[in-house]
């Protein structure tokens, strides 16, 4: 019997409407040799505050929405390769596409990976990578090293396929006002409206492994 196609609707409402504003006095700019220039200050604000916050929020939402969450365990040089391969095996069983997978790790986990003999294979390319101290991919996945400060507490590693998430940035607006009323100098303003979501029917394309401790020696 022919039946109508079933479909579900997932509502996504942007919750992050963030802004910043600061003033740079023209005399301060002159006295500091343009070190407090408006353009440089705006660049620092984006690089050191806005973008880290944006990244942290997105990664937290992805971890929270992971369809496959492993039990927290200690990650060591001896077991890191096995745990990562366990993640890819779980995603294979969920029929997650192999192409495009990304392995997200902290610098501490990346340090373990570089010490693990099972990760860098005994090939010419692998030997060259080991000599340079670089691991750029593993089991077909691109490796993304992210500072621990931008990740949830006790983050071990995460395997994610881009199809599982969306991170819309509805608005990114930055303005530098030169001598606005009441200010001799510059008024810098910025506003970002964004959010991140995990798709209900694709959440199994995210495998999250928390850790209890990271053994670096």
Res 132 pLDDT > 50: yes
Q: Does residue 1 lie within any of the structural domains?
A: no
Average pLDDT over every residue of 180-204: 93
Q: Are 63 and 203 in contact (CB under 8 A)?
A: no
Higher pLDDT, 180 or 130: 180
Is the pLDDT score of 76 beyond 50? yes
Query: Which range is least confidently modeled, 29-33, 73-77, 97-101, 128-132?
Result: 128-132
pLDDT of residue 49 exceeding 50, the answer is yes
- Asked whether residue 10 is domain-assigned, the answer is no
Tokens 């040799």 correspond to what residue?
33
The verdict on residue 9 lying in a domain is no
Position 123 scores a pLDDT of 37
Q: Does residue 193 carry a pLDDT above 60?
A: yes
Supply the pLDDT for residue 124.
43
Whether 31 has a pLDDT exceeding 90, the answer reads: no
Mean pLDDT of 200-210: 93
Residue 180: partners with Cβ closer than 8 Å, 6 or more residues away: 187
Greatest Cα pair distance, the chain, in angstroms, is 81
**In the beta sheet, which residues pair with residue 155?**
210
The answer on pLDDT for 217 being more than 80 is no
Asked whether residue 52 carries a pLDDT value surpassing 50, the answer given is yes
β-pairing verdict for 155-160 and 165-166: unpaired
Could you tell me the CA-to-CA distances from 130 to 115, 134, 185, 190 in Å, in that order?
9, 6, 52, 43
Tally Cβ neighbours within 10 Å of residue 127. Answer: 12
Q: For position 215, what pLDDT does the model report?
A: 55
Give the residue numbers spanning the domain of 96: 16-214
In the predicted model, is pLDDT for residue 34 greater than 80?
Answer: no
pTM of the model: 0.81
Is the predicted pLDDT of residue 179 greater than 80, yes or no?
yes
196 and 57 in contact (C-beta within 8 Å)? Answer: yes
Which pLDDT score, from 0 to 100, does residue 88 have?
Answer: 93
Q: Examine residue 7 and state whether it is found in any structural domain, yes or no.
A: no
3 located within any domain: no
Domains: count for the chain: 1
Does residue 20 carry a pLDDT above 70? yes
- Please compute the mean of the pLDDT values over residues 199-208 and round it to a whole number: 93
Predicted local confidence at residue 68, as pLDDT? 93
User: Is residue 93 situated within a structural domain?
Assistant: yes
Mean pLDDT of 121-136: 52
- The per-residue pLDDT for 113 is 86
Residue 87, domain member (yes or no): yes
């Amino acid at each position: 019997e022919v039946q109508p196609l079933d479909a579900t609707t997932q509502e996504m409402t942007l919750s992050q409407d963030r802004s910043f504003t600061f003033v740079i006095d023209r005399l301060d700019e002159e006295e500091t040799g343009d070190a407090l220039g408006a353009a440089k200050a705006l660049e620092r604000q984006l690089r050191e505050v806005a973008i880290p916050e944006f990244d942290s929020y997105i990664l937290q939402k992805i971890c929270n929405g992971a369809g496959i969450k492993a039990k927290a365990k200690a990650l060591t040089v001896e077991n890191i390769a096995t745990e990562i391969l366990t993640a890819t095996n779980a995603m294979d069983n969920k029929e997650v596409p192999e192409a495009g997978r990304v392995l997200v790790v902290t610098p501490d986990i990346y340090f373990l990976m570089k010490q693990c003999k099972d990760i860098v294979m005994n090939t010419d390319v692998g030997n060259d990578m080991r000599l340079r101290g670089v691991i750029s991919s593993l089991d077909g996945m691109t490796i993304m090293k992210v500072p621990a400060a931008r990740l949830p507490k006790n983050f071990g590693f995460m395997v994610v396929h881009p199809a599982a998430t969306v991170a819309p940035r509805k608005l990114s607006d930055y303005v530098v006002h030169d001598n606005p009323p009441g200010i001799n100098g510059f008024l810098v303003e910025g506003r970002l409206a964004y959010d991140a979501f995990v798709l209900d029917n694709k959440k199994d394309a995210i495998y999250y492994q928390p850790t209890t401790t990271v053994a670096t020696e």
